[in-house]
Structure 1
Amino acid sequence: MTQTPALTRALQLARDGVAVYPLASGTKTPLKGSRGYLDATTDVATLAGWFEHVPRANLGIRLDQSGLVVIDVDRHTDQHGIVVADGIQTIRQLHEQGKTLPPDTYIERTPHGGLHYFFKTPIPISKKRQINLYPGVDVLADFVLIAPSIVDGATYQAINEVNSIAVLPDWLLEGLLPGQYRQPTTKHVAIRKTWAGRMLDDLISGTTEGNRNSYLTSLLGKLLKTGCQSATAYELLQVANERLQPPLPDKEVNQIFKSIIKRV
């Protein structure tokens, strides 16, 4: 049989011990006659049979059996299309409070412009879904669709395919398990934040849509002042742009880079 991208990904995940299951093509709906994520498996023969029967099936993974959770960052709107909870803005506010989602974990962009942060959980999460744990931020501990699934004509896409899945931050475990989780005791060491440290924080925190051009221009100037190679500064500029909602087009990013590099 022809091995579709979804089957290829399903077999890869199964080899890594992650239980997967198919959904109806282009939807979040389980296949007719199936039990959805309750049928998730790592059995290669079963997976091959499913995707031979429905070659364009979407792909879901069962999180609880794999010791994973997903932080779903989205913009929630009411019935009139008015934004009532902006998860991206919430993440920025949490970052300012010292509560940061590690950017080096595996992350996917969802078909509607949201973000799925994947984390390993050191202890089981009893509640399978927590909606609006923070405004616009949900926690999924039962199942989730994953790339290369397609919904409403758009694809789930990995932000950085080479990133491995990091451990869920302590501050999130405390929010998910109030009164049940105790953060490991560590010796507190005061660390003075340097100019470079503040610059790196700016790189991760991003800015609002109307300030993207000036933000990237300022950031590039700071990067070049560190003395790094221009190629390094360009790569970091691209990283910062990819985190913006929405990112600037590559053409505009390149114009910013060319304009600033001429002055150095």
Structure 2
Amino acid sequence: MRQSAVLERALQLASDGIAVFPFTPDSKVPLKNSRGYLDATTDQQTIAGWFEHVPRANLGMRLDASGLLVVDVDRHGKTDGVQTLKQLKDQGKQLPAATYIEQTPNNGLHYFFKYNIELPIKRKIGLYPGIDMLADFVLIAPSVVNGSAYRAIEPMNEIATAPQWLLNDLLPSKRTNRTPAHATHIRKTWAGSVLDDLVTGTSEGSRNSYLTSLVGKLLRTGCQSATAYELLQLANDHLQPPLPDKEVNTIFKSIIKRI
């Protein structure tokens, strides 16, 4: 790779209106004394100055300023995100291949998409097993980490619009909710009350007690623990703001131990 390749890419993106910023060479760490993606710019003189100062710097793209999000498919952990993609496809949820995609140094994939809705979250870790969603920033080709480069799968592909099912899964509270008129005349069961609680949610100060009570009720319906956990995550996604995954997992484990 020519030494100027990263700078050339940075200047091209900037000319297209996409803000970029530098990382420390061969890493995912922002330059010392920088603010990372908050320093992203489209000013070509500023960008040229970065790479004059640190010629081997890696390149980052600020996504939120450009209305872009990245589906990060991880393959180097315990869970293979590519297998998850296949499972999603079987459910009718297929990521379009006709978009800009990069391969990461660890053989993962970054799918780039445009979106035209308000996106209140910047990252969703574990959106699916082995798959995260990034909407704040991302390292991009031709950056190099540990001696291996990011590379475009089809460099000429344009960035496609995010499929609606992905946005629905990312922001379940934004789904269109139309209750059939006759539904109010159906006799409510205990399980029905549990489902109502799941959707109704609670205020910020009561999130822990709400989720603790909810998971207990879900498990008492006799459903499998895996089902209860998925519904607990769904309920948490409806909260504003949701609890961190670590706290949700702690709540779930504490209730499981009592049963």
TM-score with structure 2 setting the length: 0.66
User: Counterpart of 1:7 in structure 2: which amino acid?
Assistant: L
Aligned positions of 1:13-32 closer than 5 A? 13-32=13-32
Match of 1:87 in 2: 81
Match of 1:150 in 2: 144
Provide, for residues 227-255 of structure 1, a one-character-per-residue CA deviation record: whole Å limited to 9, x for no partner: xxxxxxxxxxxxxxxxxxxxxxxxxxxxx
Provide, for residues 29-85 of structure 1, a one-character-per-residue CA deviation record: whole Å limited to 9, x for no partner: 1111100000000001100100100111000000000000000001253xxxxx2x2
- SS state at 1:25 partner: coil
- SS state at 1:75 partner: coil
Verify the 8 A CA contact 1:23 1:59 in the aligned structure 2. yes
User: Counterpart of 1:4 in structure 2: which amino acid?
Assistant: S
Runs of 4+ in 1 over 2 A off after TM superposition: none
For the pair 1:42 / 2:36, whether they are aligned, the reply is no
For the pair 1:171 / 2:165, whether they are aligned, the reply is yes
* Structure with higher helix content: 2
Q: d(CA) in 2 for partners of 1:50 and 1:178? A: 40
Provide, for residues 142-165 of structure 1, a one-character-per-residue CA deviation record: whole Å limited to 9, x for no partner: 000000000011000000000000
User: Which has the greater radius of gyration?
Assistant: 2
Q: d(CA) in 2 for partners of 1:171 and 1:164? A: 20
Verify the 8 A CA contact 2:99 2:113 in the aligned structure 1. yes
Q: d(CA) in 2 for partners of 1:44 and 1:167? A: 27
- Choose which of 103, 121, 124 in structure 2 pairs with 1:127: 121
In structure 1, the gaps of 5 or more residues are 78-82, 184-264
Match of 1:98 in 2: 92
Superposition RMSD on alpha carbons, in Å? 1.5
- SS state at 1:47 partner: helix
Verify the 8 A CA contact 1:109 1:158 in the aligned structure 2. yes
Q: d(CA) in 2 for partners of 1:143 and 1:126? A: 15
Verify the 8 A CA contact 1:76 1:136 in the aligned structure 2. no
CA displacement at 1:179 relative to structure 2: 2.2
Match of 2:243 in 1: none
Match of 2:66 in 1: 66
Verify the 8 A CA contact 1:19 1:41 in the aligned structure 2. yes
In structure 2, the gaps of 5 or more residues are 178-259
